[in-house]
Structure formats: structure tokens, C-alpha cells
A and B are shown apart, each in its own frame.
Chain A
Amino acid sequence: MYKGGRIIAGLLLFACLALMPFLINIGKAAAKPSPQVNTPFIQQLTTQTCVEPAAFMKTEHMQLLNQWRDAALRDGKTVYVNSQGQSFPISLENSCLKCHSNPQQFCNTCHTYAAVKPYCWDCHNQGGTSQ
């Protein structure tokens, strides 16, 4: 091969560079997110359940939040009655964050893992409420 040594060396160099991200991150899988739900408020609850079962909340919370937003903002409906017949005020700050007062350790763990950047906190107050 004409100038074979250089070609093979070049190819090897290219392969190394192209595979660099994989080589560097070998064996460094991101840890599975573990959202923390042990806030003081949740610990005081007798039955520690969210507005809907945890499995539903895990997969559908974004749709539920969209429903809540439209119901409260557009239709003035501010009470949510869940599938068990319990009612909750529709409010990110006064319902969700009352229990999940630790959005950094709760919301952000999964969102960071999944590289999702919701813009809730651009406007909504993360610090909880006075109520």
C-alpha cells in the first residue's frame, strides 16, 4: 500500500478521536435517579399518597399539570377531585410544593437524568408558600 503506515496510523487516530466520548465514559453510567419524598410535610401524613397513584404520577404528571393549568386559568376551576373522590386545590405552589417542598431533590433528579428542562420555575416560586 502506498504510504500504508501513515494511512493506518491516521485511521487509528481518527477512530480514537471519534470513539473518545464512549471511551472516556466507559463504566461511568449515570446513577439511576432517586427522587426524595421524605419531606417533613409528607412524613406527617397518615396516608402518604399523591393526588393520584404514584405509578400514574410518574408517567402522566405532565399531562395532569397541563389539565390543571387549563382548568384553573381558563375555566376558573380550582378544585381537583381525584379518582378516589378526594379533593385538592389546583395549584403548583399550594398543592404540589406543599408536600414536595424539595423540588431540587424531587423534580430535578429525574429531569436532570432525562435531560429535560421544564421552565416552571421561571415564574412559579420554588420556595413554597406562606400558607
Chain B
Amino acid sequence: MSVTRRRFLKLGLTTLAGVGGAMALDGFWRGSAEASEVLTDQKALKAKHWAMVIDSDRLKSAENVQRMIDACHRTHNVPDFGNSKDEIKWMGTETYEHAFPGQENGYLNEGIKEKLFPVLCNHCENPACVRVCPTQATFKRPDGIVAMDYHRCIGCRFCMAACAFGARSFNFRDPRPFIKQVNPDFPTRTKGVVEKCNFCVERLEKGLPPACVEASNGALIFGDLDDPNSEVRQVLATHYSIRRKPELGTEPSVYYLIGGGEEHA
């Protein structure tokens, strides 16, 4: 008996579907390592909402602030181009009227007026930078840290335009030749990506406090804002604190204690 046209087509299509399906399944299984898993490090510091309190009274001089900035920039291989146009900073300084616009007045005491406040990424609860990022290169982690995936950054700088705090810098040039001493434990960045403070997420994962907090001699307090017993909550409960540009509704996670500053007067 000869094969009918109908039977030939049926057999042919079934065979094709079988081969195709097997190939697809094979590719699927090979896509990931068998029986492997990823876990959080046991030593890692955990929190529901990381936050920082900056006690400006304990930062008596510009050197105190500079020491923290140096510690941060050394740890994270932040380049120094030597000019403000290309400047990259994870932590910087601002005067009161620039850090807290709208809260200044003409009769501020001299101590506050001339003081340089440390400024960094506020790791906002409603981060504008995350909303505008077209590639999800910048994203908010469950622990409240606004992190960046430099692999994904396409350098569009929408995030820089969206950030109300100027916390982000762009690598207009290859940063590598301008890093004085490379910290081999942390990657550098490349030309064409935006970068910013990461709340030392890589140190928290190893159980260490952020580099600036370590270098601050107690002027910076770091902890879990969702834990009522944490040090940050204790400090916020007993001191008057302000945040940068609260009227924008981004809910910064960096708090400043401004204690009058009579010792500077």
C-alpha cells in the first residue's frame, strides 16, 4: 500500500514537532547549572530600610568631612580628574543654603552659614532616578538601597536630570588613569556610565559598616529605619532632624542633625 498524502503530512509534521521540542527542551535544561543555588552571605548585615543620620555638630572641621570623602573615594576607586567639569563624586560637600534650599535665611548664624555639610545619594524611598532609567540599570533593592548595575547603564543621564540632589556623576572620560591607588577588591567604572554612592552595599554584604561611617568617628550613624530599636531610630527620636528637599516627596533616607552650632559662633 502506498503512503497517502494525508498520512505523509501527518507523520512528517509529528516528527518535526518532536525534534523541535527536544531541541528546545535541551537548550532549556542546559541554560542553568543543575541543582545549584544562590544564597545570602551569613555575615551580611540585614535591614528592611537602610538609613543614615549625619550629626553635623560632630563634624567640627572641613578635615573631618574630607576624611570621610577620602575613605569613600579610595574604597570605590573614584577617579580625580583635577577639574570640576569632569568631577566624579560619591560624597561631596555643600553649604547650608545649597544643601537645604528654602530653609536658609539672611540671618543664619555664621557657624551654620559657613559650614560644609557632607552630601551623598539620599537613597530615596521614591527615587526619581529609578523611575526614569530606561534600562533598569538603577533600581531600588528591598533593603532600601538605590543601587546601580553598571553593566546595563547606557549613559543616557536621565537619572542625573531626575535626581534633585546632584548625587550622580557621569564618566565623560575613561576614569582608570585618574585613580590614584586602585582598590583591587572593587571594580572601577568605564567611560560612558553614570555612578553614585551605593551605601557601601558590598561592605554590608561582608558584615562591615559603610566606609564613610567607619571614618566618621561617630558623626555618621547608620542602621535600619524600620527597626524601632536601631541606633538611627533612637537618635531620630531624641534629636531634631531635617532632610534635603523634603517637599519633593522623594523621602530621602539620609537625615541631618543641625544642633544650633553655638560652639562655632
Q: Are B147 and A90 in contact (CB under 8 A)?
A: no
Q: A63-B32, A69-B151 are in contact. Are A75 and B38 (CB under 8 A)?
A: yes
Please, how many angstroms separate the alpha-carbon atoms of A76 and B147 in the complex? 11
Chain A residues contacting B22 (CB-CB under 8 Å) are none
For chain A residues 84-131, which have a beta carbon within 8 Å of chain B? 87, 89-90, 93-94, 119, 122-125, 127-131
Q: Are B39 and A125 in contact (CB under 8 A)?
A: no
Chain A residues contacting B185 (CB-CB under 8 Å) are 93-94, 129-131
Q: Are B41 and A60 in contact (CB under 8 A)?
A: no
Partner of A76, one of B31, B34, B44: B44
Q: Is A44 an interface residue (CB 8 A)?
A: no
For chain A residues 54-74, which have a beta carbon within 8 Å of chain B? 56, 59-60, 63-64, 67-69, 71, 73-74
> In the complex, how many angstroms separate the beta carbon of A46 from the nearest chain B beta carbon?
22
> In the complex, how many angstroms separate the beta carbon of B26 from the nearest chain A beta carbon?
12
Chain B residues contacting A124 (CB-CB under 8 Å) are 187
Give the size category of A's interface with B. 35 or more
> In the complex, how many angstroms separate the beta carbon of A53 from the nearest chain B beta carbon?
9
Q: A60-B30, A83-B33, A93-B185 are in contact. Are A77 and B141 (CB under 8 A)?
A: no
Please, how many angstroms separate the alpha-carbon atoms of A116 and B44 in the complex? 36
Q: Are A76 and B141 in contact (CB under 8 A)?
A: yes
Q: Are A81 and B187 in contact (CB under 8 A)?
A: no
> In the complex, how many angstroms separate the beta carbon of B203 from the nearest chain A beta carbon?
12
Q: Are B184 and A82 in contact (CB under 8 A)?
A: no
Q: Are A76 and B143 in contact (CB under 8 A)?
A: yes
Most-contacted residue by chain A among B34, B35, B36 (CB, 10 A): B36
Chain B residues contacting A80 (CB-CB under 8 Å) are 36-39
From B192, which residue of chain A is reached at the shortest CB distance? A122
Q: Is A78 an interface residue (CB 8 A)?
A: yes
Chain B residues contacting A87 (CB-CB under 8 Å) are 39
Chain A residues contacting B84 (CB-CB under 8 Å) are none
Q: A76-B44, A125-B188, A131-B185 are in contact. Are A83 and B151 (CB under 8 A)?
A: no
For chain B residues 188-214, which have a beta carbon within 8 Å of chain A? 188-190, 201, 205
Q: Is B100 an interface residue (CB 8 A)?
A: no
Q: Are A74 and B187 in contact (CB under 8 A)?
A: no
Most-contacted residue by chain A among B34, B41, B139, B147 (CB, 10 A): B41
Please, how many angstroms separate the alpha-carbon atoms of A124 and B40 in the complex? 22
Q: Are B38 and A123 in contact (CB under 8 A)?
A: no
Most-contacted residue by chain A among B37, B38, B143 (CB, 10 A): B38
Q: Is B182 an interface residue (CB 8 A)?
A: yes
Please, how many angstroms separate the alpha-carbon atoms of A129 and B206 in the complex? 16
Chain A residues contacting B41 (CB-CB under 8 Å) are 78-79, 89
Top 3 nearest A-B pairs (CB, nearest first) are A77-B38, A122-B190, A71-B38
Apart from A74-B149, A78-B41, what are 11 other A-B pairs with CB-CB below 8 Å?
A: A60-B31, A63-B31, A73-B149, A77-B39, A80-B36, A81-B37, A87-B39, A89-B41, A93-B184, A93-B187, A127-B184
